[in-house]
Amino acid sequence: MMNIAYVLMDGYEELMGAQREALDESQVLRREFALLDAEMTAVRWRDPEVDWARFDAVIPKACWDYVERSTEFLAWLDRVRDLGARLVNPVELLRWNSDKRYLLDLRRGGASVAPLVYVERGAHRDLRAELSSLGWGEVVLKPAISAGAYRTLRASSPDAEGVRDHAETILRDSGLLIQPFFPEIPRDGEWSLLFFGGAFSHALVKVPVRGDFRTQNMFGATVTAKDPPPALLEQAAAVLDLLPGKAAYARVDGFVREGRLQIIEVELIEPYLYLEHGAPHAARRFCEAVLAALR
């Protein structure tokens, strides 16, 4: 029987309990793996007592605190790999995906990535002058290593109070991502398209609450399952071909502008899978993709 580690952050149960609309995917996937003759065990990545070498596969699916402990997390990935355990997704994909610099790689590869400026950690640049030259007006700042709107700031202009201090605070710890505010997201919603084993599974649209721009469950966004138009699905699937490796699971997030999917991020580490919106067999498709990647 295949032995699989489903890796959690500290405080996972408390976080899930506070989000009434969210599904505890660990329980759903454990049952599905069992039906496929695989045993899934939930473990914490920071638990020093875990014997990672005993697992056939390690899936860091709920390590949402890695953004605050990125150096520790990347060292943990290397340690697990060196012990001989298989990481799903592969460690090179996880490391690449941990920093939103990867969006520049996707853009160079021809993907329609939403407009952005990437600032290296510790860089000293005249951000006010640079952003003013772009003419974006309202902007959004976030760390390059982030998830769940962590340290994300929306500002009315590059000159708004607190923007420079916020940017400098982020740059002490990581790179900085600056983007214009995308009005399509609060108006039309953000798409999430899920792919398991390279094949499309399901999709949904997340619409923020009135007056907000964040599309996560924890901020009250409305989530609706929706079949993507063929062109949108094709554009999302093409992004997978630009990844530096084969992903057992991926979530492509973006918004639509002039008929094209503008990529905001591609989640390969710990995406929430929205299995509750994936019809009856999304969990089975995920588990089958993971097991296929191990063969």
Could you read off the pLDDT of 239-256 as tens digits, one per residue? 999 999 999 999 999 999
Asked whether residue 158 falls in the same domain as residue 265, the answer is no
What percentage of the chain exceeds 90 in pLDDT? 66
Domain around 139: 117-180
What percentage of the chain exceeds 70 in pLDDT? 94
Asked whether residue 106 falls in the same domain as residue 245, the answer is yes
Q: How far is CA 194 from CA 26, 99, 155, 160, 187, in A?
A: 17, 20, 31, 37, 22
Q: If you average pLDDT over residues 14-20, what whole number do you get?
A: 72
Asked whether residue 92 falls in the same domain as residue 138, the answer is no
Asked whether residue 196 falls in the same domain as residue 287, the answer is yes
Residue 86: pLDDT above 90?
Answer: yes
Model pLDDT, residue 157: 66
Question: How far apart, in whole angstroms, are the C-alpha atoms of residue 209 and residue 293?
Answer: 38
Asked whether residue 60 falls in the same domain as residue 80, the answer is yes
- Per the prediction, the chain carries an average pLDDT of 90
Band (pLDDT 50/70/90 cuts) for residue 148 is low
Residue 269: pLDDT above 80?
Answer: yes
Q: What is the DSSP letter of 69?
A: S
Least confident of 161-170, 207-216, 234-243, 273-282: 161-170
The pLDDT tens digits of the residues spanning 42-51 come to 999 999 999 9
The pLDDT tens digits of the residues spanning 187-198 come to 999 999 999 999
Find the helix packing angle between 163-173 and 127-134, rounded to 10°: 110
Question: Looking at residue 42, which CATH number applies to its domain?
Answer: 3.40.50.20
- pTM of the predicted structure, to 2 decimals: 0.92
Q: If you average pLDDT over residues 222-231, what whole number do you get?
A: 95
| Rg, Å, the chain Cα set | 19
Amino acid at 121: R
Model pLDDT, residue 133: 74
Question: How far apart, in whole angstroms, are the C-alpha atoms of residue 44 and residue 7?
Answer: 5
215 touches 265 (CB < 8 A):
no
Model pLDDT, residue 159: 67
Count CB neighbours of 159 within 10 A.
11
Residue 228: pLDDT above 90?
Answer: yes
Question: Looking at residue 137, which CATH number applies to its domain?
Answer: 3.30.1490.20
Q: If you average pLDDT over residues 153-171, what whole number do you get?
A: 74
